[in-house]
Amino acid sequence: MSLEDLKFAYIITSVLSQNTFAGAILVTDYKGFPLEFKYTDPVVPTKIQQVLYGNELENYIKLDVICDNLVSEITDKVHAIIYVQDEYLLNYKSDNIPVIRLSRTNTPQLKNQKYNKVKDSEYLVQISAVASPVRVQLAEKNNVDNIDKLINPILQAGSYVDICEPFDRISKTLELVVKQNA
């Protein structure tokens, strides 16, 4: 896959207040330039849903309502969906798109290697020569035959942009959208 073909979808979900949720998706090119942005209106579960889903209500809304809606709305074909704030979102099932969680670390730089396996579903990836490595997490149930296939696009894009920075933008944009629509 060429560098110009790389597209990433950053998804966030947010709890706006007790039992009110929202989410957004930002599709970027390899340089972090926005190609597409979608968001959900606030989702407020009914009393019946609250009782039926019980403790799983928040997870149901985040995965089955917000993520399904956002992913179905994007028109650009993406290489990876990347989550940052909620490890539970790794449980999202997408047909052909790997689900990855990226987060910053304060870990010392990796010497002489691009990545280091921490455990079966977690890697430290040295993107920048001067910054700490980035944590890459996969759903534990994923059987990754070729981790290079998932990490190489992150390394490629990371040479142009802070690969985690779009999360800051999407979070601030969702906050602005919610305030404007309130």
Output the pLDDT for position 145: 67
Can you read off the two tokens belonging to residue 146?
A: 């070729």
- Using alpha carbons, select from 24, 100, 13, 93 the residue that is nearest to residue 57: 13
Residue 23 CB coordination number (10 Å): 23
pLDDT recorded at residue 57:
94
What is the reported pLDDT for 144? 62
**Residue 96, pLDDT score:** 72
Instruction: Give the C-alpha distances (Å, rounded to integers) separating 128 from 40, 64, 108, 110, 133.
Output: 34, 35, 12, 10, 7
Q: What are the DSSP calls for 153-169, one per residue? A: HHHHHHTTS-TTHHHHH
Name residues of the chain where pLDDT drops below 50.
none
Task: Catalogue all structural domains in the chain, each as residue range(s) with its CATH number.
Answer: 3-174 (3.30.420)
Reported for 68-71, long-range contacts at CB under 8 A and 24+ positions apart, including other chains, are 69/23, 69/40, 70/11, 70/23, 70/24, 70/25, 70/38, 70/39, 70/40, 71/9, 71/11, 71/25, 71/97
Quote the CA–CA distance of 33 and 157 in Å, as a whole number. Answer: 11
Tell me what pLDDT residue 149 has. 82
CB distance 160 to 30 below 8 Å = yes
